Structure 1
Amino acid sequence: MKSKKALSPYLVWMILFTVVPMLLVLYFAFTDHSGAFTLKNLQQVGQYSNVFLRSIWQGALATVICLLLGYPLAYIIAHMKLKSQSAAVLLIMLPMWMNFLLRTYAWMTLLEDNGILNTMFAALGLPKVHMINTAGAVVLGMVYNYIPYMILPLYTVLTRIDTSVLEAAQDLGANRTQVFCRVTLPMSMPGVISGITMVFVPAVSTFIISKMLGGGSNLLIGDVVEMQFLGSAYNPNLGSAISLVLMLLIIICLGIMNQFDEGEEQEAVLL
Structure 2
Amino acid sequence: MPLAPKTKRNLVTTALLAPSALWLFVFLVLPFAAMVIFSFGERAPAGGYQPAFTLAQYANLPARATAFWNTLILAPVGAFVCLLVAYPAAYYLAVKADPRYRLMLVSLVVVPFWTSLLVRTYAWMYILGSRGIPNLLSMIGIEDVRMLNTPGAVLLGIVYGYLPLMIMPIYVSLEKLDRRLLEASADLGARPVSTFFSVTLPLSLPGVMTGVALVTILLLGEYLIPQLLGGGKVFFIGNALVDLFLQSRNWPFGSAIAVTLVLVVVVVLMVAMRIAWKISGSRQVDLV
TM norm structure 2: 0.87
Deviation for aligned residue 1:185:
0.9
1:248 corresponds to: 263
Query: Does the CA-based 8 Å contact 2:221-2:237 persist in structure 1?
Result: yes
1:145 corresponds to: 161
Q: How does 1:210-221 map to 2 (within 5 A)?
A: 210-221=226-237
| Partners of 1:58 and 1:158 in 2: CA distance | 27
What 5-or-longer segments of structure 2 have no aligned partner? 1-10, 43-48, 284-288
Determine whether 1:21 maps to 2:31. yes
Alpha carbons of structure 1 residues 267 and 181: separation in structure 2 relative to 1, 3 Å: farther
| Partners of 2:191 and 2:278 in 1: CA distance | 24
1:118 corresponds to: 134
2:152 corresponds to: 136
SS at match of 2:281: helix
2:60 to 44, 54, 63: 44
SS at match of 1:188: helix
Query: Does the CA-based 8 Å contact 1:121-1:128 persist in structure 2?
Result: no
Determine whether 1:82 maps to 2:99. yes
Alpha-carbon displacement from aligned partner over 1:169-193 (angstroms, at most 9, x marks no partner): 2223322112111111111111111
Deviation for aligned residue 1:263:
2.6
1:169 corresponds to: 185
Alpha-carbon displacement from aligned partner over 1:111-130 (angstroms, at most 9, x marks no partner): 11x22212222333433420
1:11 corresponds to: 21
1:108 to 118, 121, 125: 125
1:239 to 227, 245, 254: 254
SS at match of 1:147: helix
What 5-or-longer segments of structure 1 have no aligned partner? none
Deviation for aligned residue 1:73:
0.5
Q: Which one-letter code corresponds to 1:98 in the other structure?
A: T
More divergent stretch after superposition (68-77 vs 21-30): 21-30
Structure 1 residue runs of 4 or more that deviate by more than 4 Å after TM superposition: none
| Partners of 1:267 and 1:174 in 2: CA distance | 26
Alpha-carbon displacement from aligned partner over 1:199-234 (angstroms, at most 9, x marks no partner): 111212211111111111111111101111112x11
SS at match of 2:154: helix
Q: Which one-letter code corresponds to 2:281 in the other structure?
A: Q
- Whose Rg is larger? 2
Give the root-mean-square deviation of aligned CA atoms: 1.7
2:46 corresponds to: none
SS at match of 1:103: helix
Query: Does the CA-based 8 Å contact 1:26-1:244 persist in structure 2?
Result: yes
| Partners of 2:108 and 2:142 in 1: CA distance | 32
Alpha carbons of structure 1 residues 267 and 4: separation in structure 2 relative to 1, 3 Å: closer
Residues paired across the two proteins, number: 266
Alpha carbons of structure 1 residues 267 and 186: separation in structure 2 relative to 1, 3 Å: farther
Identity %: 33
Query: Does the CA-based 8 Å contact 2:134-2:147 persist in structure 1?
Result: no
